[in-house]
Amino acid sequence: MSLAYSGEVFNLGIAEIAVIVVVGLLIFGPDKLPKAIKSLSSGMRQFRSAASDATRSLQDAAGWDSSETRQTLSDLADLHPKRLMGSILEDPESTSRGQSPRTGNSSPAAKPPAGQGSPTVAPAPDYDPDAP
Protein backbone atom coordinates (compact mmCIF):
# COMPACT_ATOMS: atom_id res chain seq x y z
CA MET A 1 0.00 0.00 0.00
CA SER A 2 1.51 3.31 -1.10
CA LEU A 3 0.76 6.29 1.11
CA ALA A 4 3.17 8.57 -0.69
CA TYR A 5 2.25 12.18 -0.07
CA SER A 6 2.57 14.46 -3.07
CA GLY A 7 1.16 17.92 -2.70
CA GLU A 8 -2.32 17.83 -1.17
CA VAL A 9 -3.53 14.40 -2.32
CA PHE A 10 -2.54 10.90 -1.26
CA ASN A 11 -1.72 8.61 -4.17
CA LEU A 12 -4.12 5.77 -3.43
CA GLY A 13 -5.38 3.29 -5.96
CA ILE A 14 -8.77 1.56 -6.04
CA ALA A 15 -7.39 -1.60 -4.41
CA GLU A 16 -5.78 0.36 -1.56
CA ILE A 17 -8.97 2.30 -0.88
CA ALA A 18 -10.94 -0.96 -0.87
CA VAL A 19 -8.54 -2.47 1.69
CA ILE A 20 -8.87 0.61 3.91
CA VAL A 21 -12.68 0.44 3.71
CA VAL A 22 -12.72 -3.28 4.55
CA VAL A 23 -10.37 -2.77 7.51
CA GLY A 24 -12.50 0.17 8.66
CA LEU A 25 -15.64 -1.97 8.43
CA LEU A 26 -13.98 -4.72 10.47
CA ILE A 27 -12.76 -2.32 13.16
CA PHE A 28 -15.71 0.07 13.48
CA GLY A 29 -18.59 -1.84 11.94
CA PRO A 30 -21.05 -0.55 9.35
CA ASP A 31 -22.93 1.62 11.87
CA LYS A 32 -19.98 3.59 13.25
CA LEU A 33 -17.80 3.80 10.10
CA PRO A 34 -19.44 6.98 8.63
CA LYS A 35 -19.11 8.75 12.00
CA ALA A 36 -15.46 7.69 12.29
CA ILE A 37 -14.68 8.97 8.77
CA LYS A 38 -16.45 12.26 9.50
CA SER A 39 -14.55 12.79 12.77
CA LEU A 40 -11.24 11.80 11.13
CA SER A 41 -11.73 14.25 8.25
CA SER A 42 -12.71 17.10 10.58
CA GLY A 43 -9.69 16.33 12.78
CA MET A 44 -7.40 16.45 9.74
CA ARG A 45 -8.92 19.78 8.68
CA GLN A 46 -8.38 21.22 12.17
CA PHE A 47 -4.80 19.93 12.24
CA ARG A 48 -3.99 21.53 8.85
CA SER A 49 -5.57 24.80 9.95
CA ALA A 50 -3.63 24.83 13.22
CA ALA A 51 -0.38 23.99 11.43
CA SER A 52 -0.82 26.77 8.86
CA ASP A 53 -1.76 29.26 11.60
CA ALA A 54 1.32 28.28 13.63
CA THR A 55 3.55 28.63 10.57
CA ARG A 56 2.07 32.01 9.75
CA SER A 57 2.45 33.30 13.34
CA LEU A 58 6.07 32.08 13.51
CA GLN A 59 6.85 33.80 10.22
CA ASP A 60 5.26 37.03 11.44
CA ALA A 61 7.07 36.87 14.80
CA ALA A 62 10.44 36.25 13.14
CA GLY A 63 9.85 38.85 10.42
CA TRP A 64 10.57 36.18 7.83
CA ASP A 65 9.46 36.65 4.24
CA SER A 66 8.84 33.26 2.64
CA SER A 67 9.00 34.67 -0.91
CA GLU A 68 12.67 35.59 -0.37
CA THR A 69 13.39 32.07 0.85
CA ARG A 70 11.61 30.54 -2.12
CA GLN A 71 13.67 32.75 -4.46
CA THR A 72 16.87 31.72 -2.69
CA LEU A 73 15.94 28.05 -2.99
CA SER A 74 15.18 28.56 -6.67
CA ASP A 75 18.56 30.21 -7.16
CA LEU A 76 20.23 27.30 -5.37
CA ALA A 77 18.35 24.83 -7.58
CA ASP A 78 19.88 26.57 -10.59
CA LEU A 79 23.29 25.60 -9.19
CA HIS A 80 22.50 21.89 -9.53
CA PRO A 81 25.42 20.29 -11.43
CA LYS A 82 23.27 19.16 -14.37
CA ARG A 83 21.69 22.58 -14.83
CA LEU A 84 24.97 24.36 -14.28
CA MET A 85 26.81 22.22 -16.85
CA GLY A 86 23.92 22.58 -19.27
CA SER A 87 24.13 26.36 -19.09
CA ILE A 88 27.94 26.28 -19.40
CA LEU A 89 27.95 23.88 -22.35
CA GLU A 90 25.04 25.58 -24.11
CA ASP A 91 26.01 26.79 -27.56
CA PRO A 92 24.83 30.41 -27.97
CA GLU A 93 24.86 30.02 -31.76
CA SER A 94 22.39 27.13 -31.61
CA THR A 95 19.79 29.35 -29.95
CA SER A 96 20.34 32.06 -32.54
CA ARG A 97 19.89 29.49 -35.33
CA GLY A 98 16.55 28.44 -33.82
CA GLN A 99 17.74 25.20 -32.24
CA SER A 100 16.79 24.03 -28.83
CA PRO A 101 19.81 24.39 -26.51
CA ARG A 102 19.17 21.04 -24.82
CA THR A 103 18.37 18.83 -27.77
CA GLY A 104 19.93 20.62 -30.70
CA ASN A 105 16.80 19.97 -32.76
CA SER A 106 15.61 22.75 -34.97
CA SER A 107 12.40 24.41 -33.99
CA PRO A 108 9.63 24.51 -36.61
CA ALA A 109 10.15 28.24 -37.13
CA ALA A 110 13.82 27.71 -38.02
CA LYS A 111 13.17 25.13 -40.75
CA PRO A 112 13.40 26.34 -44.35
CA PRO A 113 10.23 26.44 -46.46
CA ALA A 114 9.27 23.28 -48.32
CA GLY A 115 11.22 22.69 -51.51
CA GLN A 116 14.35 24.41 -50.30
CA GLY A 117 17.32 22.51 -48.94
CA SER A 118 18.45 22.87 -45.38
CA PRO A 119 21.24 25.39 -44.78
CA THR A 120 24.64 23.77 -44.56
CA VAL A 121 26.44 24.44 -41.31
CA ALA A 122 29.85 22.96 -40.73
CA PRO A 123 29.92 20.90 -37.53
CA ALA A 124 32.26 22.05 -34.79
CA PRO A 125 35.41 19.90 -34.52
CA ASP A 126 35.56 17.49 -31.58
CA TYR A 127 39.18 18.40 -30.90
CA ASP A 128 41.40 21.45 -30.66
CA PRO A 129 43.27 21.80 -33.99
CA ASP A 130 45.91 24.01 -32.36
CA ALA A 131 46.81 21.49 -29.67
CA PRO A 132 50.19 19.68 -30.05
Would you give the end-to-end CA distance of the chain in angstroms? 62
Asked if residues 33 and 24 have their Cβ atoms less than 8 Å apart, the reply is: yes
E strands, the chain, are 5-6, 9-10
pLDDT value of residue 42 = 95
DSSP-assigned states of every residue in 92-108: HHHHHTTB-TTT-PBPG
Give per-residue pLDDT as tens, 96-107. 555 554 444 444
Give per-residue pLDDT as tens, 43-79. 999 999 999 999 889 888 888 777 788 888 888 888 8
Asked if residues 28 and 22 have their Cβ atoms less than 8 Å apart, the reply is: no
User: Quick one: which H or E segment has residue 128?
Assistant: none
